[in-house]
Amino acid sequence: MVNRIISKSKEFLNQRSNSILSAAAIIGISYLGSALLGLIRNHLLAARFFGGMEADLDVYFAAFVIPDTVFQLLVVGAVSAAFIPVYQEYCDKSKEEANRLANTALTSIGFLLLIISITIVIFARPLAGLLAHFPPEKLDLMANLIRLMSAAQILFAISAFLTGVLQSQRRFLIPAIAPLLYNVGTITGIILLSSRYGIYSAAIGVVLGAFLHMAIQLPTAGALGYWPKITWKPRHPGVLSMIRLMPPRAMALGLDQVERWVAVNLTSLLAVGSLSIFNFARQLYVLPISLFGVSLSQASFPTLAQEALLEDKSKFKATLSKSILQILFFALPASVLVLVLRIPLVRLAFGAKNFPWEATLLTGKALAFLSLAIAPQAVTNTLTRALHALKDTKTPLIIGFITMIVFVGVAYLLGFVTERDVAVITLAMSIGNLLDFLLSYVAIRRKVGPLGISVRMVKMFLVSFFTGISLWAPMRLLDQLVFDTTRTGPLITLTLVVSAVGFSVYLFFCWLFDIEELQDVLDIVKKIGNWRKILASSDEVLETTPNSI
């Protein structure tokens, strides 16, 4: 019996995903699980290090940026844009040769990452002073945290290649579980070690989490015939092909990292705790984008890439239009709820008792600005992938550069001219993200022509606006007259009641304005009883009929 359970468990964990929808479901669930654990992690950080030790928490968030930027540019850029397509090409010829390529690429990239990490460890103190404007003793702490967390990036590099191997062979479940274990590792470090090692416990937790992120993927990779080994052949044809593919993706990722560097640089000039508040607000902002935008865009990308090869772009436009409308259908009410419920959400996420009321208000203000860009940013993920499917990597890079310049300019202008608090940085982010959406949408229209969804998008924005208006007054009345939100129980009840009312109001307005995506969702709900069959056979992205646009 036990052997049978173990056998079935292995079969489930190592199973191959055969459809877009099954991959999308796994991606979406993993994002949600990872986000929830991330909230728990930051709740612990806020409870243990924010009250009276705000600067230490700011230093921790600032220290994480430098080693993570190197990892994003070098490893993520290599794996996402270069390794996976080259590995898949080799897999078609010989799995043995493909695995040899994987180890050769891992050795080459890993060696370069090791050299850079050693350099960062040696020059951590001047790098800390270059990035942030903390007092000298805090810069010393930041340098030590940088050194400690640099070790995690080596483990993440191995793990990233394991993820590439598994996803190339359509094993999505284990790579989806890995980020959950990373957060578990960080949480474990904070809980067990914070009383003894202070903020260093979070950095130790990062290293532990990186190890768990790698370790969970090793058995499945081994079952597929791959095991990480040192193979030094830097002139391997596959590695050279990777190197040629890496620069555009690395440059795009570099533009994304500028946002984090500017945030650290500016917030270190503001009141103590500003960087922590920025990260807390940004985490709540990213959750609906990841859940609705990133998961659907990743799931739709293979279909878009296939349809982009056709001379007739009508199918491509239909899939893209449907994906955009589906994302907006979910992301717009999410942005409204985040805007209306920003204070209760902040208090629930980061603590009503341990998180100071002034910090709660400032985090809520920052989150209010960010909520304006949730839906546009969620759609931008799909627009960018659509341009990539059309083999246009130059346009997203140009758009990214323009929006980066706008963000940096607006952030520093508002930061030094207006009221100096962290909310101005989030306002600059929202302005940049809205511009990113508009430029990407225009670029797609120029490539394939009008998508024919402008009227339907306007209807969705109007429905969401009316939903927000109808929610604000009840939320205020319930908060002041019914629920004692100084206690956690009533605060949770208020959030659930207002969310339920908001969901009902949104569905009513969707019915009133004849939003077609409502019927799509209802059709999917009716099919939930056949979820196993749907996940096994569907090749659509939450799509009921190909001509429903």
pLDDT at 68: 87
Helix/strand/coil (H/E/C) assignment for every residue in 120-149: HHHCHHHHHHHHCCCCHHHHHHHHHHHHHH
Q: What is the pLDDT of residue 548?
A: 41
Q: What pLDDT is stored for residue 8 in this prediction?
A: 43
Specify the pLDDT at position 505. 84
Spatial contact of 327 and 382, defined as CB atoms under 8 Å apart: yes
Percent of the chain with pLDDT over 90: 20
The string over 209-229, giving b where at least 16 C-beta atoms fall within 10 Å of a residue's C-beta and e elsewhere, is bbbbbbbbbbebbeebebebe
Judged on CB neighbours under 10 Å (0-12, 13-18, 19+), 157 is buried
pLDDT of residue 274: 85
Q: Which residue stretches of the chain have pLDDT < 50?
A: 1-21, 53, 527-549
Q: What is the pLDDT of residues 496-546, one digit of tens each?
A: 888 888 888 888 888 887 777 676 666 555 544 444 444 444 333 333 333
pLDDT given at position 392: 77
Residue 511, number of CB atoms within 10 A of its CB = 12
Quote the pTM value.
0.79
Per-residue pLDDT, 209? 94
Tokens 């059709």 -> residue: 523
pLDDT value at residue 367: 92
Structure confidence at residue 357 (pLDDT): 80
pLDDT reported for residue 536: 43
Q: What is the pLDDT of residue 546?
A: 37
Domain boundaries, the chain: 1-247, 270-549
Write b or e for each residue in 408-424: b if 16 or more Cβ atoms lie within 10 A of its Cβ, otherwise e: bebbbebbeeeeebbbb
Instruction: Give, in degrees to the nearest 5, the angle at Cα 391 between 387 and 394.
Output: 70
How confident is the model at residue 176, as a pLDDT?
A: 79
Q: What confidence score (pLDDT) does residue 28 get?
A: 66
